Amino acid sequence: MATKPNVLFLFADQMHAFAMGCMGNEDISTPNLDRLAASGTVFENCYTSNPVCTPYRACLLTGRYSCQTGMIGINNLPVPPGETCLADLVNKAGYRSSYVGKWHLGDSGNISVPKEYRCGFTDFIGFQCVNDFYRDIWFFDEKENRRDFHKHRTVAMTDLALERLAEVKDDPFCMLVSYSNPHYPVQPDKEYAEMYWEKELTLRPNFQEIENPFDPEKRYVPRSEDPEHTRRGDDTLSYIKMYYAMVTQLDHEIGRILDYLEEAGLMDSTMIVFTSDHGDMQGSHGLGNKHVHYEESTRVPLIVKVPGTSGHRVSTPVDTTDFVPGILDYLNVPPSPMAEGKSFLELASGGTAPHREAIFVENGTNYYMIRKGPYKMVIDQKTYAPQHLYDLEQDPYEMQDLVDRQDLADVQTGLVREIIDWHRDVMSRVNPWRWIPEDAVSWRTKKAEGGVSREEYASVEFVSNWCLQQRQAKL
């Protein structure tokens, strides 16, 4: 049995912070996440650094902001050369780095992930990105061999996670398990769907009905080809019910993993983290999907179980860039020379010491956001013009925009200045090989037109040389 500490990092896809019983939602059934929360620490104000799948994953694995890497919102790009990733650091310290599930860095589709795109993970089984839970359920291992399953994708992913845990449990490990739930197209197994069909839900006060919540353009196959039980309603309430069913099914699978850790005697040596890449608007403010600055999009669940701590709750805001420092701190691995965040280990261990005064969120080339104290400030990236200001203590559903209000002029000016100072500071440590929007579009076009072979596309060296050529051509 391993004597060093381990980390098991579990994360959902498109799960907002409010979809758990331990966060006060009485409509949803999450007994295993609630059980994890009771035996660990709930971070009530965790924010994604970028509320989109691919850029979030780059932030997660590097501990850096999207503006520094160029992974700002355009999907299907690899992490650029020059980044030091989590797996690189734990590998060097003698840990087994393991990854299971959805990857979504470097490409899209139900395809394998080349070694060059795995950010250093030595144990790997997963797929790039496909949004379907019943069809074509396959995963690719380290040698890109395909393994097929004939069961719900969530169940298959847990089977693989348990298989991999059994393989690495006698060595010190750092394992990440990336689930696809509850990302659209919301296809729960029937037993979970039935839990919510007739259930009355309490909608958020900022809810508004939206058109076509089951957007066919976001689906792997037409909705008409889904199993019958996912077609009983077309309104947003039906979408939320199936979303909750997807969360409950995920909760059940996480329970299987927690049971295994207890049976294997790993609970006393393993830090368990549960979070998500971003949220889902579900009709709040009349919007669907993610991307935007609202709480339902940017605020995500975070439960951290550190052996010896239980029943702790933290209101201090944290964000995605804190994960690499926190994981390395727990594993007693030297800190990343590049990560921007701060370890949350002291808070997760029952402490109450100050963390960071403010956290920051960005998306594409659209907005920068700061959360500091009770306030959330959003500004335009290009002009730094104020766009939104909310007092989340007085207005948790963001129904009263306070931007440009005279009595808060000093607050607004101070928050805008902090965002500008933050951005200038982090850009002083920018990756010289970062993706810039024009290069990213050109690169994807070049690949789509067949101008890049698979071998070249999987070569980090080729990507860096290509980026250099683009920059030199513009000088």
Using one digit for the tens of pLDDT, what is the confidence trace for 432-446? 888 887 777 777 777
Last residue of a domain, one of 305, 330, 357: 357
- Sequence-ordered list of residues with C-beta below 8 angstroms from that of 234, at least 6 positions apart, any chain: 212, 213, 214
User: Does 432 map to a domain?
Assistant: no
Element (H, E) at 389: strand 386-391
**Cα distance between residue 306 and residue 349, in whole Å:** 6
Last residue of a domain, one of 340, 357, 374: 357
* 293 shares its domain with 259: yes
| Count of domains observed in the chain | 3
Supply the pLDDT for residue 1. 42
Task: Place 178 in a pLDDT band, splitting at 50, 70 and 90.
Answer: very high
* 245 shares its domain with 349: yes
* Averaged pLDDT of the chain: 91
DSSP per-residue string spanning 266-296: -GGGEEEEEEES----TTBTT--SS-SSSHH
Residue 46 corresponds to which tokens in the numbers above?
């965790």
Based on its alpha-carbon atoms, the radius of gyration of the chain, rounded to whole angstroms, reads 21
**Cα distance between residue 430 and residue 423, in whole Å:** 10
Asked which of 19-33, 47-61, 125-139 is least confident by mean pLDDT, the reply is 125-139
- For the chain, what percent of residues have pLDDT higher than 90? 77
- Contact criterion met (CB below 8 Å) for 50 and 437: no
Task: Place 468 in a pLDDT band, splitting at 50, 70 and 90.
Answer: low
User: Does 468 map to a domain?
Assistant: yes
More confidently predicted of 262 and 81? 262
Supply the range of the domain harboring residue 392: 361-427
* 138 shares its domain with 211: yes
Question: What does the pLDDT look like over 296-317, one tens digit per residue?
Answer: 999 999 999 999 999 999 999 9
Supply the pLDDT for residue 390. 98
User: Does 1 map to a domain?
Assistant: no
* 163 shares its domain with 245: yes
Neighbours of 162 (CB within 10 A): 19
User: Does 308 map to a domain?
Assistant: yes
Supply the pLDDT for residue 118. 93
User: Does 199 map to a domain?
Assistant: yes
Question: What does the pLDDT look like over 77-125, one tens digit per residue?
Answer: 889 888 999 999 999 999 999 999 999 998 888 989 988 889 999 999 9
Is the pLDDT at 228 greater than 60? The verdict is: no
Supply the pLDDT for residue 406. 97
**Cα distance between residue 176 and residue 420, in whole Å:** 33
Is the pLDDT at 287 greater than 70? The verdict is: yes
What's the predicted TM-score (pTM) here? Answer: 0.94
Last residue of a domain, one of 357, 372, 392: 357
* 325 shares its domain with 452: no
Which CATH number goes with the domain that contains 319? 3.40.720.10
- For the chain, what percent of residues have pLDDT higher than 70? 91
Is the pLDDT at 403 greater than 70? The verdict is: yes
Supply the pLDDT for residue 109. 86
User: Does 245 map to a domain?
Assistant: yes
* 201 shares its domain with 53: yes
* 423 shares its domain with 442: no
* 202 shares its domain with 220: yes
* 342 shares its domain with 207: yes
**Cα distance between residue 335 and residue 88, in whole Å:** 12
User: Does 16 map to a domain?
Assistant: yes
Supply the pLDDT for residue 461. 67
* 277 shares its domain with 218: yes
More confidently predicted of 232 and 288? 288
Mean pLDDT along residues 252-268:
97
**Cα distance between residue 30 and residue 14, in whole Å:** 16
* 341 shares its domain with 325: yes
More confidently predicted of 228 and 334? 334
Mean pLDDT along residues 12-30:
98
Supply the pLDDT for residue 227. 63
User: Does 338 map to a domain?
Assistant: yes
* 181 shares its domain with 259: yes
Element (H, E) at 65: none
Token look-up 């933050």 returns 422
